[in-house]
Amino acid sequence: MTKYLTLLSFFGLSFGGCAAFDEGILERDITGVVRIPLEALESLKLIDSDGTPIMEDGFTLDEEGNPVLNITGQMGLLGPVYLGGFPSVVDGDYAYPHPEMGPILDSDRPGDTYPYGGTTVGRFDYACYEQLRCKVVTGRYTDYQEILDFFSDVVQEPVLAPDGAEVTAGATYQEHCYTTEYVTSDDELSFVDGDPQEDVLPYFKPYFRLEGDFYVADVTIPHSLYVEDMELWGWVDMPSVRYAFASCNPEEGSSYYRYTEQFMEGSSYPDLLNYPGIYIDQGDWVAEPVTITDPDAEFTIDFIHPHED
Amino acid sequence: MLGMLSVIFLGGLSGCDRNAKGLIPEPSDAFPGVIEIGELEVVDGDTLNFFIDKQRGTLAHIMPNLDNETALLVGAADAAEAGIAEGYEFSACPELEEAVNGMTSAERLEWYTAHGTLDCGIFNSDPEADHNRDAKPYYYGQLGRSPELTQGGATFTFIGTGEDVCVIVDPETVFWSQSIAPANRVDQFAYPDHFDDDGDLDIFAGMSSYYTGSPGVEIGDFRGFYTDSKGEVVEIQYGECFQTGSSQGMTDAHSGRGTTEYCTIDTDQQEGVEFTVVLETFSVPLDDGVLSFGVTVMNERCPRVDTSECFIRTESLSSAGAPRACTDRLEAAQCAGQLGSFCCANPEMCGDEGNIENGLCEDIFEVDQAPATRDEWCGSTGLCCDEEGELEIESGAGGGGPGPGI
């Protein structure tokens, strides 16, 4: 009997020891919601190569300038959202709230913000055609046809195949991707996702939904250093009037080489959260900072400051 | 029986160099492990050409053993003797011509170090003054091994010009990896290197205000710490010597043993600011325990400077400070892509000849792309150690290109 009691005691002790152990890790997953006002899209303007407006006041325009298509449901107009955790966010350094910076070490650059962590809601992804480098963001499209329609009807620059022919069918686009990217399923490509609400907790897929006057997306900043009273801050890189994005460099990224086609596939800059002031430009929307006092509480961060150069 | 075995076993243990200490050179009283060089001038190529009497605008080089016998003439005196003024010539400055006419190369260096300018206006403003604070145009030195658990190396300073400058150091002597490919052998590297005569120095540089070391006493670094408003500490590298590897994503990239190492430092908006350069000892040659090197700071971006082995010449020095025999020819052979032939002609300058491919040296010599004998090759290139006289090395293309045109 004594032997059994001793065994039971060891068993209980070992369980108790496991449950009480605190590893002391300072990094946390910080989860919340980003919100971008509807106005970010409604105020967006696009022009064609001649400078003629093709989109304004929330509608695409025909040749006579008449409104054609309401663009408030066109998520492709939302660029990547960059979100980081910083020691503090201050006014006065830029025309918008900006994280505090360390010393200036290079006369060509501002000081580093030394972020504690960060993530994006959507990122640039190479979408199988050279024309689409730095123009397609993950979490904005559910299928290939949606991309083709967006570039044809909203940006009004139809997607062209390497031979110059317009790509009009999603199936053609899909086959081109499978051929050139050496994949056999859509699951292997990040820029389309037929199941955007799939549960992948503790993270979220970078898809926005329209809720009232805001585009809303769930987000997790993974493995961020948590310091009490740290501030979350970021911006959404909105397209320029010619549908280009300041945070992406088409001459970087993986190299593409196939027959007569040779180019770089494009990539976002690696130091966006370190030097955000370099990349925020006309038309971007900057967040109102949020102070984090409890890493387990969900935050809501609003991108409500439009930046005008 | 057991006792005998124990004696053999213990004897074997004590005879072994079990911790490889035998491979480490002994510290030397004559050559300290940490030295302070002083200030180097940010020098232009034409100043270096002045010392070796080369025409202005041609590719410069430096050497420790400047000629101390041949009187060099300039201007009218040169034209009167040679028919036409050649070598280094001043641009309409009779006062400077008069001051240096008839000096040897070594005397020119001494004169320049005392006066610090070749600019006519500056010189005439005060012909007796030293116009560059006694800064040296270049430096050749020697480092011993530092004591255990301490970092050895050399430090010097230069003053920012507001433009890009290039810091170049060349540790002795020449190193290469042997080509042992069974097919498509590369003759240049087919012969093994003499490993024991090579040393390695790594460059670090930044503003002197960030340097943590004590010049001549203790080697430091350029690391600092930034504390943000929440009290988090971030280490910051204030070093500004970024080498080619680091621009491609490799941080702390450095050249290997026996190879020139250089970096461009942007001193924009830092004119007049003092910079410190640290040459950290990475390895000391095993043959003598003394690491010789040459170093200079040029007023150009490094891609516009000759950074080959033939820019800083003859940096391998004996314990007396004199150039080691034939090392100038070894460097010239490296620059010319003739290492294989050089080693076959001068096996005492290279590695173990027992490790070369059979027949390598039988058909390696070529002159004008035709097979030649050793003597014919020696006569054609001047790269044999038993050749009389000083080697004539033509400067090659800049930016680390080929050296002598032989």
- With cut-offs at 50, 70 and 90, classify the pLDDT of residue B400: very low
CA distances from A2 to A6, A8, A13, A15 (A): 6, 10, 16, 20
Q: Which of A88, A107, A230 sits opposite B268 (nearest CB)?
A: A107
Asked whether residue B249 carries a pLDDT value surpassing 80, the answer given is no
Question: Exposed (0-12), middle (13-18) or buried (19+): which is A190, by Cβ within 10 Å?
Answer: middle
| Residue A88 at interface with chain B, using a CB cutoff of 8 Å | yes
Q: Write out the two tokens for B13.
A: 């243990």
| B178 domain residue, yes or no | yes
Residue B14 lies in a domain: no
Q: What is the pLDDT of residue A137?
A: 98
Q: Is there a domain that residue B401 lies in?
A: no
User: Is B229 within 8 Å of A116 when comparing Cβ atoms?
Assistant: no
Q: Are B372 and B360 part of one and the same domain?
A: yes
Crossing angle of the two packed helices B105-115 and B45-52, in degrees rounded to 10: 140
Q: Which amino acid is at A255?
A: S
Q: Residue B186 sits in which domain range?
A: 21-62+137-381
A291-295, B30-34, B103-107: lowest mean pLDDT where? Answer: B30-34
With 0-12 CB in 10 A as exposed, 13-18 as middle and 19+ as buried, what is B233? exposed
Number of domains into which chain B is organized: 2
Secondary element (H or E) of residue B8? helix B2-15
B241 contacts on A by Cβ (under 8 Å): none
- Reported ipTM: the value is 0.85
Residues on chain B touching A116 (C-beta within 8 angstroms): 232
pLDDT for B28: 74
**B374 and B246 in a common domain:** yes
pLDDT surpassing 50 at residue B126: yes
Looking at the complex, does the CB of residue B242 fall below 8 Å from at least one CB of chain A?
Answer: no
B142 and B185 belong to one structural domain: yes
User: What pLDDT shows up at residue B79?
Assistant: 83
Is residue A147 within 8 angstroms of chain B, CB to CB? no
- Write the residue in A105, A107, A225 that is nearest to B238 by C-beta: A105
Q: What is the pLDDT of residues A221-276, one digit of tens each?
A: 999 999 999 999 999 999 999 999 999 999 999 999 999 999 999 999 999 999 99
State percent of chain B over pLDDT 90.
70
Over residues B193-221, the mean pLDDT reads 94
Interface contact flag, A102 B228, Cβ < 8 Å: yes
pLDDT at residue B183, rounded to an integer: 82
Query: What average pLDDT is seen over chain A?
Result: 93
| Chain A hits for B238, Cβ within 8 Å | 105
The answer to whether the Cβ–Cβ distance between A87 and B229 falls below 8 Å is yes
Tens-digit pLDDT profile for residues A170-196: 999 999 999 999 999 999 999 999 999
Q: Is A227 on the interface with B (CB under 8 A)?
A: yes
Residue B12 lies in a domain: no
Using alpha carbons, select from B361, B317, B321 the residue that is nearest to residue B339.
B361
Show which of B134, B156, B177 is a domain's final residue.
Answer: B134
Q: Is B212 found in the same domain as B101?
A: no
Q: Which range is most confident: A143-157, B5-19, B280-294, B362-376? A: A143-157
Once rounded to an integer, what is the mean pLDDT over residues A210-217? Answer: 97
Interface mutation vs chain A, best among B228, B235, B266, B271, most A CBs within 10 Å: B228
Do B190 and B78 sit in the same domain of this protein?
no
Confidence of residue B11 (pLDDT cuts 50, 70, 90): low
Domain check: are B177 and B207 in the same one?
Answer: yes
**A226 contacts: CB under 8 Å, gap ≥ 6:** A26, A27, A28, A30, A85, A116, A292, A295
**Domain's final residue, options B102, B134, B166:** B134
Q: Is residue B242 very low, low, confident or very high in pLDDT (cuts 50, 70, 90)?
A: confident
Residue B160: list chain A partners with CB under 8 A.
none
Regarding whether B56 and B182 lie in a shared domain, the answer is: yes
B93 and B108, same structural domain? yes
Nearest alpha carbon to residue A233 among A116, A137, A140: A116
Question: Nearest CA of chain B to the CA of A271: how many Å?
Answer: 13
A114 touches chain B (CB under 8 A): yes
Instruction: Provide the shortest C-alpha distance from residue B280 to chain A (in Å).
Output: 23
Distance from CA of B237 to the nearest CA of A (A): 9
Q: How many CB atoms lie within 10 A of CB B264?
A: 21
Confidence (pLDDT) at A266: 97
Q: Does A225 touch chain B (CB under 8 A)?
A: yes
Residue A106 has pLDDT above 70, yes or no: yes
- Residue B105, SS3 per DSSP: helix
Residues 6+ apart with CB under 8 A from B217: B34
- pLDDT score of A107: 77
Q: Is residue B27 part of a domain?
A: yes
Nearest chain B CA: its distance from A224 CA (Å): 14
**From the CB of residue B217, how many other CB atoms can be counted at a distance below 10 Å?**
11
CATH of the domain at B255: 2.60.120.380
Residue that is last in its domain, among B134, B156, B189: B134
Cα of A108 to nearest chain B Cα, Å? 10
Q: Computed over its alpha carbons, how large is the radius of gyration of chain A?
A: 23
Res B406: pLDDT = 27
Q: State whether B286 and B358 are in the same domain.
A: yes
pLDDT tens by residue, A57-80 = 999 999 999 999 999 999 999 999
pLDDT number for residue B9: 61
Cα atoms found within 13 Å of the Cα of residue B353, Cβ hemisphere only? 14
Please tell me which residue, B8 or B328, carries the higher pLDDT value. B328
Write out pLDDT tens, residues B141-152: 999 998 888 999
φ, ψ at A305 (rounded to 5°): -105, 105
Interchain proximity B232–A88, CB inside 8 Å: no
> Does B264 have pLDDT greater than 90?
yes
| Structural domain includes residue B389 | no
- Measure the CA–CA gap between A6 and A205, rounded to whole angstroms: 51
- Shared-domain flag, residues B294 and B207: yes
Q: What is the pLDDT of residue B399?
A: 32
State both tokens at B363: 């058909």
Mean pLDDT of the residues in chain B: 88
Rounded CA-CA distance B363/B379 in Å is: 17
Stretch B20-48: mean pLDDT:
88
Is A105 in Cβ contact with B228 (below 8 Å)?
no
Q: What percent of chain B is modeled with pLDDT above 70?
A: 89
pLDDT band at B5 (very low <50, low <70, confident <90, very high): low
**Which residues on A lie below 8 Å from B226 (Cβ)?**
102-103, 114
Q: For residue B402, tell me if it sits in a domain.
A: no
pLDDT at B404 over 50: no
Q: 3-state DSSP call for residue A207? A: coil
Q: Which residues in chain A are contacts of B164 at CB distance < 8 A?
A: none
* Residue-level pLDDT at A1: 52
pLDDT tens for B331-355 read 999 999 999 999 999 999 999 999 9
Residue A23 in contact with partner chain B when CB distance is under 8 A: no
Same domain assignment for residues B49 and B128: no
Chain A hits for B269, Cβ within 8 Å: 107
CB contact under 8 A, A114 and B269: no
User: Is B316 a member of any domain?
Assistant: yes
Q: Mind telling me how many Å the CA of A18 is from chain B's nearest CA?
A: 30
What does each C-alpha distance from A208 to A73, A75, A235, A297 come to in angstroms?
10, 7, 15, 21
B226/B92 same-domain check: no
**DSSP-H helix ranges across B83-180:** 94-100, 105-115, 120-125
Q: A97 to chain B nearest CA, in Å?
A: 16
Instruction: Calculate how close chain B gets to A102, using CA atoms only, in Å.
Output: 7
User: What would the pLDDT profile of B363-384 be if each residue is shown by its tens digit?
Assistant: 899 999 999 999 999 999 999 9
- Ordered strands of the A299-302 beta sheet: A209-211, A214-225, A27-37, A299-302
Task: Report CB contact under 8 Å: A114, B232.
Answer: yes
pLDDT of residue B395: 45
pLDDT attached to residue B192: 94
As a whole number of Å, the end-to-end CA separation of chain B is 68
A19 CB within 8 Å of a chain B CB: no
Going by pLDDT thresholds of 50, 70 and 90, the confidence category of residue B358 is confident
Which among B238, B271, B283 has a CA at the least distance from the CA of B143?
B283
pLDDT above 80: residue B289: yes
